[in-house]
Amino acid sequence: MSQSRAAIVGLAGTTLDPEEVALFRATPPLGIILFARNIADPAQVRGLTASIRDLLGEATPILVDQEGGRVARLRPPHWPEFPPAARFEALPPEAARANAALHGMICREAGFDVVCAPVLDLRLDGAHAVIGDRAFSEDPEEVARQGLAWAEGLQQAGCIPVVKHVPGHGRAMVDSHFDLPRVTAPREMLAEDCGPFAALANLAGWAMTAHIVYEALDPTLPATLSPLVIGQVIRRAIGFPGILVSDDLCMAALRGAPGELARQAIEAGCDLVLHCNGVLADTAAALEGCPVLTEEAAARLAETRARVLAARSPLDAAALLALRDAQLSAAA
C-alpha cells in the first residue's frame, strides 16, 4: 500500500485488460471503482473483483455507486431494484438502515467493500435535478437522521460508506458532470448544507468532495482543488477526520490534464482522487501525476477498515426486506 498512488481508477470492460494489468503493476492505484460497463452478472463481477485483489492485494478497496433509484450499478435482472433516498423521508430510520444493509449485502457478495452513498446533499427547489430524489430531504436534520441510519446499515453489512458531496451539492444550478457550478449563497446558508456532513463526520469513514465553486468560501477554485474549502471547512468547520476522496476528475466541471488535476487535488488536501473513465492513456497519465499514498492517509484507511469490520453483524435479508417494505407501504 505504501507505494500505491493515491488514486481510485476505473476499468475499460468486464475483465482486466492485459494493458491495464501491466500499467497497474508499474504504477499501482490504491483501488478500483466499477461502473455499469464493468458489470454483466454476479459470477462475472465476483471474478473481476477477485482478479483485482489478486493483482493489487487483498486489502484493495473496490468501490461502487449504489444509492438506489437512478444511481445503482447492480440492477435487475441479476440484482433487486432499490428505491431512491427520497422515499425514506419522514420514515422511521429503521427503514433506511434496513435498506442500506440490503444494499451492503449484495455489494459485499459481489466483492465490493466501499459504497459511494449516502448522499447528504439537500434537495432544494429550483436547483439542478442532478441531485433531486437522490437526496433524503430539504431539511438538514432529516438528511442527517436518515443519512446516519444509511451509513450504519452499510457498516452492518461490512461496507465502508462514502458520504457525498461535501460540503454540499444541493444548491448547484448546473450538473458538474457537464459544467462547473458556482454557488453564490452566503456562508450562513452554506452552514446549513454542511450540517448533515458534520453530524456524520465521526461515523463516515470516507467523504467525497464536490466539484463546485462556493464564492463565499473560495471564489476561484472548486472545493476539490481548494485548500481553503478542504482545510477550513471540511476538516475544521465540519470536523471530518476520515478519508477525503475527490469526485471523478474526468467530469467536465474540472479542466486540465489528468495528472495535473490529481496532483492539485492531493495538494489541496484530498487523501485520494477518483479517475473513472477507464481510458488507458488517461488512467496512465492520472497515475503518473498522482503522488503516492501518504502515511497519514494509510493510517486513516486502516482505522476506517478496522472500525467497519468491528461494526459488521449477522443480518437476515428476509427480515430486513420485510421491515423496509412494511415501512414504505405504510407511508404510501
Which run of H or E residues covers position 182? strand 182-183
Please say whether the beta carbons of 103 and 110 come within 8 A.
Answer: no
The DSSP annotation for 10-76 comes to E-SSSS--HHHHHHHHHS-EEEEEE-GGG-S-HHHHHHHHHHHHHHH-TT--EEE-EEETTEESS-T
Catalytic, 177? Answer yes
Q: State the Cα–Cα distance between residues 184 and 197, nearest whole angstrom.
A: 20
Contacts of residue 176, Cβ cutoff 8 Å, sequence gap at least 6: 130, 169, 210, 211, 212, 247, 251, 252, 253
Choose the catalytic residue: 113, 193, 218, 247: 247
* Neighbour-count burial of 153, counting CB atoms closer than 10 A to its CB (0-12 exposed, 13-18 middle, 19+ buried): buried
> Which residue's entry shows cell 458532470?
177
Please say whether the beta carbons of 107 and 62 come within 8 A.
Answer: no
Q: State the Cα–Cα distance between residues 227 and 268, nearest whole angstrom.
A: 4
Contacts of residue 200, Cβ cutoff 8 Å, sequence gap at least 6: 120, 144, 147, 148, 151, 163
Catalytically annotated residues: 177, 247
